[in-house]
Chain A
Amino acid sequence: MTYPLNRGGLHVPEALSRPADEPDFSHVSIPAAGTVARPEIDAYPASMRDYAYTLIRVLDEDGQALGPWAGDASVETLLQGLRAMQLVRAYDVRMMRAQRQGKTSFYMKSTGEEAVAVAAALALDRQDMCFPTYRQQGLLIARDWSMVDMMNQVYSNSGDRLKGRQMPVFYSSREAGFFSISGNLGTQYSQAVGWAMASASDADSRIAAAWIGEGATAEGDFHHALTFASVYQAPVILNVVNNQWAISSFSGIAGGERTTFAARGLGYGIPSLRVDGNDFLAVYAVTNWAAARARAGGGPTLIELFTYRAEGHSTSDDPTKYRPAAESEAWPLGDPIERLKTHLITRGAWSQDQHDAMVKDADEQVRSAGRESERLGTLKEGERLKASSIFDDVYKEMPAHLISQLEESGL
């Protein structure tokens, strides 16, 4: 095959299938589960080049765990992960509906990407600091953070710890090691590296983990973070969640047409591995490997988590306007919950009945949290927060000009 030379004008990458087309994933090459080797944690980055161009997979089509990346997580951890992923999904469904009912202004689901956050959360220590994007709510849920607290934030209700200052899903929980979400894409990536540098300078064993979408890797902060992480060998895990869509732009527009996002790390001398993001065991094992490397002083690791954004970008988005409605079903790496469930059943550690009961239980937990949170109000109903608090926390102490504006506001 020869390289497609283009002399006909500007090359603008175009998605393989649009709404009127059949979904097309023929360009996706998927190695069989268990076929990718596992390097030592102190391997030289240059010796790990191939990991950026393949796909580390543990679970095969029958749910068997295969190869050197299998076996990191105990059955208890896998069951914990399965429950957490189901909770995330149930939570997403309820909050999406709440937005449609006008109880909040906005919501973002993480459907299909639950493993990316949940498996990582369980592979890290609770003291490790996560610098997520707006699509890793699974980190909070896997760390057993109060779902009522999360809903309070989405509703900006009287129980919202962020006092209605942030848009829905821009959570913050220092206690859960979940760094404050910012609307500005990519900014948290270099902040995570700084946090890790600070930890290293204290000879602290805690590490940082950052998440970014493949679309936002085009931001300058991605480059700044990788440069700093490499220069100072910061103990940080740099996750790139490649769900193939940045709102309406397919990953080719972010630079993914001729290379992988993992390969971006190679030029910085950072070991970079590409993982099946819908394979809970693979995500867990690779995160575990990167955490061990970072804790041992081996510096940063970049992980590309190859997955698929199964639903719209947000409640303000309609994906049928730019991709086939059936694309999600055609996605060859399947659903992370279904795949882990099949694995656990194959292993004899789980059953369909137990699964059905667990799904019901997750729905009930979410419903009950929802009732509790809605008692504290929703965006436009119920008890409101004190509006005068908008002047607090701009500075540590309120300066004179804000005191005067507070008086002027009459709030």
Chain B
Amino acid sequence: MTLVAQEARTMSMIEAINQALDIALDHDPSVMIFGQDVGYFGGVFRATEGLQDRYGRGRVFDAPITEAGIVGVAVGMGCYGKRPVVEIQFADYIYPAADQIISEAARMRYRTCGEWWSPLTIRSPYGGGIYGGQTHSQSPEGIFTHVAGLTTVIPSNPYDAKGLLLAAIESDDPVLFFEPKRLYHGPFDGYHDKPVQPWANHPDSIVPEGHYTVPLGKARVLQEGEAVTVLAYGTMVHVAIAAAAETGIDAEVIDLRTLVPLDLDTIVASVSKTGRCVIVHEATRTCGFGAELAALVQQHCFFVLEAPIERVTGWDTPYPHAFEWEYFPGPARLGKTLQHIIEI
């Protein structure tokens, strides 16, 4: 962490992201930001608010509604020497760009032996919990963690969001930066019937004003515990903390932060201590990232495991609208699994 003493204040995740983009534009003239509605309007979630005013239309601009075009153009800009930071309005709409992400950006360095590379960052709001239905709720990270050459990052709080985003932009590898939109304005532990909390009450909302990075590929042990390791990222980090508190189980909660490259050492150290592991994600279960986590934990911690590795995930269905809370893996469902796992 390159944190130097500097002014800090409480920020929401969207403010922290906005500030990271501002700093990136200010520090590096090769940074260019574009996407649907990101220019004049400042983004449908306000992530790019004020940036076009400050840096001009040549650096921050609106793009046509064409995800494949946005990423394809960004790959070309990267090969020229720019550092494009593009936005896909919802992760649910990243699929048209899949060919450019998977076949081009991810492989550019490899197929040219380093003659060209794709230093681009693709920001995209992702995840559910907002009554977004089938196409404003998805968690497609598992599709991209399967692709060699991509880095996949998911922050869970304002401090990490800013530091990880700056690290992503500065990385010379292509980074998918999935932002849990449910966390933009406050932490969310899955208790949808309770009033929304602002970030102001959360310790990780204290964000330094200046430049700092949170390293990619490093997990964070959010809460130490002895009974069971919970592997989580994004919104599920807050669900895990809530479920542990509610059940009174001494869970060690790990926020993975970067899925690929994965911080396996931190995971193995934790499971070696607890002997139990529960994986939680919003994405559907089959072939989700949890399957990879379970396989790795099984391989590296086989002799210390005292119970089967469990996965608490979204169901293997499209994301429903009216039955949001029956789909969303909330603290009750996770708590039940935690209870079960420590009783084995």
Contacts and interface: CB of A to CB of B under 8 A. Distances in A.
Given A182-B103, A221-B68, A401-B262, A195 B80 contact: yes
Given A165-B113, A220-B68, A395 B173 contact: yes
A174 B261 contact: no
Contacts of B171: 396
B100 A190 contact: yes
A183 B78 CA distance: 20
A388 to B, nearest CB: 14
Interface centre among A170, A190, A193, A401, by most B CB within 10 Å?
A190
Nearest to B103: A184
A166 B264 CA distance: 31
Interface stretch (A45-53, A225-233, A237-245): A225-233
B115 A174 contact: yes
Contacts of B112: 162, 172, 174, 180
B261 A393 contact: no
A391 B113 CA distance: 11
Contacts of B114: 393
Contacts of B217: 399-400
Nearest to B66: A224
Interface string A199-230: 10100000010000000000011011101100
A98 B250 CA distance: 67
Interface string B53-95: 0000011000110101100111111111110100000000000
Contacts of B79: 179, 191, 194-195
B76 A227 contact: no
A198 B34 CA distance: 12
Interface residues of B, number: 48
B26 to A, nearest CB: 17
Contacts of A395: 109, 149, 151, 173, 261
Contacts of A201: 32, 58-59, 82
Contact of B66 (A165, A194, A199, A227): A227
A192 interface: yes
B192 interface: no
B111 A172 contact: yes
A394 interface: yes
B109 A191 contact: no
Interface of A: 129, 131, 161-163, 165-166, 170, 172-174, 179-180, 182-184, 187, 189-199, 201, 208, 220-221, 223-225, 227-228, 231, 392-396, 399-401
11 contacts: A165-B113, A172-B115, A173-B115, A184-B103, A187-B75, A190-B69, A201-B32, A228-B69, A395-B173, A396-B171, A400-B217
Given A187-B103, A190-B100, A225-B72, 17 more contacts: A131-B76, A165-B111, A165-B113, A179-B116, A190-B75, A191-B76, A193-B76, A196-B76, A197-B77, A220-B96, A224-B69, A227-B64, A394-B110, A395-B109, A400-B264, A401-B260, A401-B261
